[in-house]
Amino acid sequence: MIRANCRACFTAADFDFIVRTLAPSRADRVSLVDLLSDSETRDSVLDHPLLVETILSNAGHLRISSQFYFYVLARHVLQQAGIGDRKLSDYIGSLLETFSRANHLPAADADHPGAQQYISDMLIALSRATPEQTFLLRAHVGNYSLFITGIFHENTQRRSLRGAPDIDFYEQVGRTNYQLVASHETARRCELTDVFTGLANRFHDVRLALNDLSDRLLHLDEDSNVAHLL
């Protein structure tokens, strides 16, 4: 299950990268380390444009975590799209990080890993799912729809010309399923109600921000596998 927890997973190497990037002198480093102990100040520091610039100019040569990498880039493109919710950025960063670790898009059905690769299969599975499984399936449908139309939008468009569902279809399916899981007890228990509500309301805007991330910052090949995001 994907959670909005990228910022909780940052490593010592990530904070060292922040310090070295933003505070070149020893005196500045001490003060910045002190500032990073405060969560609100830390969030503000994470928005510094120099972090994005340094990551992009040194891609492949940085000792930073994938959670830090995806949070900073997701936060950057979402802010540019007028989406300032840090928790939503955190969730999108976690979504990208989760899919980047997979050799294929993960199935939500733990008993049959890899069996439900297509939206239609996942929707059919809802008819026999328990309430908890229903939540996981619908959240996965939303995440899957957002990911493939956000990061692999050109592939999605090209496949639609051969009869596959188009981006409008995935947007509608993704938005609807995010709306449904937002009211689920599991979402409330995991403190994701506001995230799912935000994704349902702004699915199109988030999708376009991820298009920008894919086109301008990640430079993925047309046939790139999810595992090759990093």
pLDDT tens-digit readout, 27-64: 777 777 777 788 888 999 999 999 999 999 986 788 99
The two three-digit tokens of residue 147, written as one number: 């990911």
Residue 167 is part of which domain span? Answer: 109-230
Going by C-alpha positions, the residue among 97, 178, 193, 195 that lies closest to residue 140 is 178
- Say yes or no: 212 and 135 in one domain: yes
The pLDDT of residue 223: 42
Going by C-alpha positions, the residue among 170, 169, 177, 179 that lies closest to residue 201 is 179
- Say yes or no: 118 and 215 in one domain: yes
Q: What is the pLDDT of residues 149-193, one digit of tens each?
A: 999 888 888 888 888 788 999 999 999 999 999 999 999 999 999
- Say yes or no: 67 and 124 in one domain: no
The pLDDT of residue 66: 93
Q: Among residues 101, 126, 143, which one ends one of the domains?
A: 101
At 12 the three-state DSSP class reads: helix
- Say yes or no: 226 and 123 in one domain: yes
- Say yes or no: 128 and 87 in one domain: no
- Measured from the Cβ of residue 111, the count of other Cβ atoms closer than 10 Å reads 7
Handedness of CA 127, 128, 132, 137 (dihedral sign): negative
The pLDDT of residue 115: 31
- Say yes or no: 65 and 86 in one domain: yes
Q: Which residue has the higher pLDDT, 191 or 23?
A: 191
Going by C-alpha positions, the residue among 99, 144, 90, 92 that lies closest to residue 117 is 144
Q: Which residue has the higher pLDDT, 22 or 112?
A: 22
Residues 6+ apart with CB under 8 A from 102: 226, 227
The pLDDT of residue 109: 39
- Say yes or no: 90 and 178 in one domain: no
Q: Among residues 59, 80, 101, which one ends one of the domains?
A: 101
- Give the CA distances from residue 211 to residues 103, 153, 220, in Å, rounded to whole numbers and listed in that order: 21, 7, 11
The pLDDT of residue 111: 42
Q: What is the pLDDT of residues 74-132, one digit of tens each?
A: 999 999 999 999 999 999 999 999 988 764 444 433 343 333 356 888 888 898 999 89
- Say yes or no: 86 and 156 in one domain: no
Residue 207 · residue 173 · CB < 8 Å: no
What is the spatial distance between Cα 69 and Cα 166, in angstroms, rounded to a whole number? 30
Going by C-alpha positions, the residue among 127, 144, 138, 18 that lies closest to residue 72 is 18
**Number of compact structural domains in the chain:** 2
The pLDDT of residue 102: 67
Residue 63 · residue 69 · CB < 8 Å: no
Q: Among residues 52, 79, 101, which one ends one of the domains?
A: 101
- Say yes or no: 219 and 117 in one domain: yes
**Confidence (pTM):** 0.86
- Say yes or no: 24 and 72 in one domain: yes
The two three-digit tokens of residue 116, written as one number: 């439900």
- Say yes or no: 113 and 225 in one domain: yes
- Give the CA distances from residue 115 to residues 108, 119, 121, 135, 137, in Å, rounded to whole numbers and listed in that order: 9, 11, 8, 18, 13
- Say yes or no: 115 and 135 in one domain: yes
What is the spatial distance between Cα 215 and Cα 219, in angstroms, rounded to a whole number? 6
